[in-house]
Amino acid sequence: MGIYTFYEVPKQACRLHAIRGTKELFQNAEQWRDFLNIVDDLEEPGDVNGDGKVNVSDVTALINMILGITPMDQTLADVNGDTKVNVSDVTALINIILGIH
Protein backbone atom coordinates (compact mmCIF):
# COMPACT_ATOMS: atom_id res chain seq x y z
CA MET A 1 0.00 0.00 0.00
CA GLY A 2 1.09 3.52 -0.63
CA ILE A 3 1.82 5.94 2.16
CA TYR A 4 -1.28 7.98 1.30
CA THR A 5 -3.74 5.07 1.31
CA PHE A 6 -5.35 6.21 4.56
CA TYR A 7 -4.66 9.92 4.14
CA GLU A 8 -7.57 11.93 5.58
CA VAL A 9 -9.22 8.78 6.96
CA PRO A 10 -10.33 9.48 10.55
CA LYS A 11 -8.27 6.65 12.05
CA GLN A 12 -9.20 7.54 15.63
CA ALA A 13 -12.92 7.21 14.81
CA CYS A 14 -12.81 4.13 12.55
CA ARG A 15 -13.21 0.56 13.69
CA LEU A 16 -10.78 -1.85 12.07
CA HIS A 17 -11.91 -5.49 12.07
CA ALA A 18 -9.18 -8.14 11.97
CA ILE A 19 -8.98 -11.93 12.06
CA ARG A 20 -9.02 -13.28 15.61
CA GLY A 21 -5.60 -13.35 17.18
CA THR A 22 -4.07 -10.76 14.84
CA LYS A 23 -4.90 -7.53 16.71
CA GLU A 24 -1.35 -7.10 18.01
CA LEU A 25 0.07 -7.51 14.51
CA PHE A 26 -2.12 -4.65 13.29
CA GLN A 27 -1.27 -2.49 16.31
CA ASN A 28 2.44 -2.87 15.49
CA ALA A 29 2.23 -2.55 11.70
CA GLU A 30 3.16 0.84 10.30
CA GLN A 31 0.12 1.07 7.99
CA TRP A 32 -2.39 0.20 10.73
CA ARG A 33 -1.03 1.31 14.10
CA ASP A 34 -2.73 4.73 13.96
CA PHE A 35 -6.14 3.03 14.05
CA LEU A 36 -7.14 3.19 17.72
CA ASN A 37 -10.14 0.87 17.60
CA ILE A 38 -8.87 -2.48 16.32
CA VAL A 39 -11.18 -5.40 17.03
CA ASP A 40 -10.10 -8.97 16.28
CA ASP A 41 -13.56 -10.41 15.77
CA LEU A 42 -13.39 -11.97 12.32
CA GLU A 43 -13.20 -15.68 11.62
CA GLU A 44 -10.26 -16.86 9.59
CA PRO A 45 -11.42 -17.60 6.02
CA GLY A 46 -11.93 -21.34 5.77
CA ASP A 47 -12.35 -22.01 9.49
CA VAL A 48 -15.63 -23.83 8.88
CA ASN A 49 -15.71 -25.65 12.22
CA GLY A 50 -14.76 -22.54 14.21
CA ASP A 51 -11.79 -24.06 16.05
CA GLY A 52 -9.38 -21.28 15.12
CA LYS A 53 -7.43 -23.39 12.61
CA VAL A 54 -7.87 -24.06 8.92
CA ASN A 55 -7.11 -27.68 8.09
CA VAL A 56 -8.58 -30.93 6.80
CA SER A 57 -11.06 -31.00 9.71
CA ASP A 58 -12.74 -28.01 8.11
CA VAL A 59 -13.09 -29.91 4.82
CA THR A 60 -14.82 -32.75 6.68
CA ALA A 61 -17.08 -30.30 8.52
CA LEU A 62 -18.00 -28.54 5.28
CA ILE A 63 -18.81 -31.80 3.49
CA ASN A 64 -20.96 -32.87 6.45
CA MET A 65 -22.81 -29.55 6.26
CA ILE A 66 -23.41 -29.92 2.53
CA LEU A 67 -24.68 -33.49 3.03
CA GLY A 68 -26.99 -32.33 5.82
CA ILE A 69 -25.25 -34.44 8.46
CA THR A 70 -24.49 -31.42 10.65
CA PRO A 71 -26.27 -28.05 10.86
CA MET A 72 -24.91 -25.45 8.49
CA ASP A 73 -23.52 -22.09 9.53
CA GLN A 74 -23.96 -20.26 6.23
CA THR A 75 -21.45 -17.58 7.23
CA LEU A 76 -18.65 -20.09 7.80
CA ALA A 77 -19.66 -22.63 5.14
CA ASP A 78 -19.74 -20.15 2.23
CA VAL A 79 -15.98 -20.19 1.87
CA ASN A 80 -15.86 -18.63 -1.59
CA GLY A 81 -18.42 -15.92 -0.76
CA ASP A 82 -20.83 -16.59 -3.62
CA THR A 83 -23.87 -16.95 -1.27
CA LYS A 84 -24.22 -20.66 -2.14
CA VAL A 85 -22.78 -23.59 -0.22
CA ASN A 86 -21.69 -26.40 -2.51
CA VAL A 87 -18.67 -28.27 -3.85
CA SER A 88 -17.16 -24.98 -5.05
CA ASP A 89 -16.68 -24.07 -1.39
CA VAL A 90 -14.88 -27.37 -0.79
CA THR A 91 -12.52 -26.54 -3.66
CA ALA A 92 -11.97 -23.02 -2.30
CA LEU A 93 -11.26 -24.43 1.16
CA ILE A 94 -8.74 -26.95 -0.17
CA ASN A 95 -7.03 -24.13 -2.08
CA ILE A 96 -6.79 -22.09 1.14
CA ILE A 97 -5.24 -25.05 2.97
CA LEU A 98 -2.77 -25.60 0.12
CA GLY A 99 -1.95 -21.89 -0.06
CA ILE A 100 -3.36 -21.49 -3.56
CA HIS A 101 -5.33 -18.24 -3.79
Domain count, the chain: 2
Are both 29 and 62 inside the same structural domain? no
CA 80 to chain centre: 11
Alpha helices in the chain (DSSP H): 23-28, 56-66, 74-77, 87-98
Residue 67 inside a domain? The answer is yes
pLDDT at 1: 62
Question: Is pLDDT at 3 greater than 90 in this prediction?
Answer: no
Taking only the tens place, the pLDDT of each residue in 76-100 is 899 998 999 999 999 999 999 998 8
Residue 82 inside a domain? The answer is yes
Residue 18 domain boundaries: 1-42
Are both 37 and 66 inside the same structural domain? no
Question: Is pLDDT at 6 greater than 70 in this prediction?
Answer: yes
DSSP 6: T
Residue 49 inside a domain? The answer is no
Taking only the tens place, the pLDDT of each residue in 30-76 is 888 889 999 988 777 899 998 888 999 999 999 999 999 999 888 88
